[in-house]
Amino acid sequence: MKNIIQKLLFTFLFFGTLHVFGQKSNISSPVDSTKTYKIELNDHSIFIGNILKKDSVNLVMRTQSIPKLEIQISKIKSIEIVDKANLKNGSYWFPNPHATRYLYAPSAFNLKKGEGYYQNTLLVLNSFNVGITDNISIGGGLELTSTFRAAPIFFITPKVGFKISEKFHAGGGLLFASVPFSSSISNRSYLGTAFLSGTLGTKEHNITSSLGWGFIEGEFSQRPIITLSGMTRISKRAALVSENWLIPTDGYYGLFSYGVRFFGEKMAIDLAFVNNPDIFQIIVIGIPYVSFTVKF
């Protein structure tokens, strides 16, 4: 069981680097009457519909239930273009708040400039990620239990992601980690992984395949770690998620997972199980996996 847990944690650490909302429109920017907008007021009221007219004083819009609604510009907090994929039978589903990751491995979707999140995994791995541009993000974090021994594991995770077509994104990045081998801060090894990934689908329904080459003290592995992950949104506040690994050992060691993601507009909670034939002999349903994420 100890070896299984070590392999599992190794995978979570190495693939921690492999991670939206509607398009934001400045209040003073021109609008398109053919597009659907989300208008949030200073009192947190929200209206979804088409903007018929806008000047420096007032905005006039049409919603599904109100043919003509006039709003003072001074009362508007934000204006966002709504993706048609987020309109379900006239109801607005906020965009997936955590589309850049599955359980812990990444998709090829990237954070937008200025977006960021904090993620806690299994109560011990803590990380932050921030979008530097729409295509480049950088993150970092530490592993909590080692901190109590005055020698934490810490890591940085730069990543790039690009939209190749309407339903295909490609990305890649690097994880660089400092791992202690005793309570001495100086007794460390430097390791990580370089990865490439491709994502097919939308932020609401997608699959991702990734290849990652691990390295220790500058020496790369001969064979890559392989992941295949997927997610599909089943309701306004829930999605099914699966993340699966092939880890090079003497051959390849496989792990698969299944779980549910619950989310709000700015947060996500993952409840899942990690399993394979070895784990099944000890824990039939698999090893529990829990994480939560807060966007900022």
* 6 φ/ψ angles, rounded to the nearest 5 degrees: -60, -45
Non-local (6+) Cβ contacts of 255 within 8 A are 7, 8, 11, 244, 245, 247, 274, 275, 276
pLDDT reported for residue 227: 96
Tokens for 223, please give them. Answer: 């064979």
Share above pLDDT 90 across residues of the chain, in percent, rounded to a whole number: 64
Domains and CATH numbers, the chain: 2-21+95-295 (2.40.160.40), 23-92 (2.30.30.520)
**Of the candidate ranges 28-32, 96-100, 210-214, 277-281, the one whose mean pLDDT is the lowest:** 28-32
**Of the candidate ranges 6-15, 55-64, 198-207, 257-266, the one whose mean pLDDT is the lowest:** 6-15
Fill in the DSSP letter of residue 7: H
DSSP string, 181-228: SSS-TTSEEEEEEEEEEEEEE-SSEEEEEEEEEEEETTEEPSS-EEEE
What is the mean predicted confidence (pLDDT) over 7-33?
56
Identify whether the C-beta of residue 276 lies closer than 8 Å to the C-beta of residue 249: no
Residue among 141, 204, 147, 107 nearest 13 (CA): 141
**Across the chain, how many H-helices and E-strands are there?**
3, 22
Rounded CA gap, 287 and 213, in Å? 25
Query: Model pTM?
Result: 0.79
Asked whether the predicted pLDDT for residue 59 surpasses 90, the reply is yes
Instruction: Please indicate whether residue 32 or residue 169 has the higher confidence score (pLDDT).
Output: 169
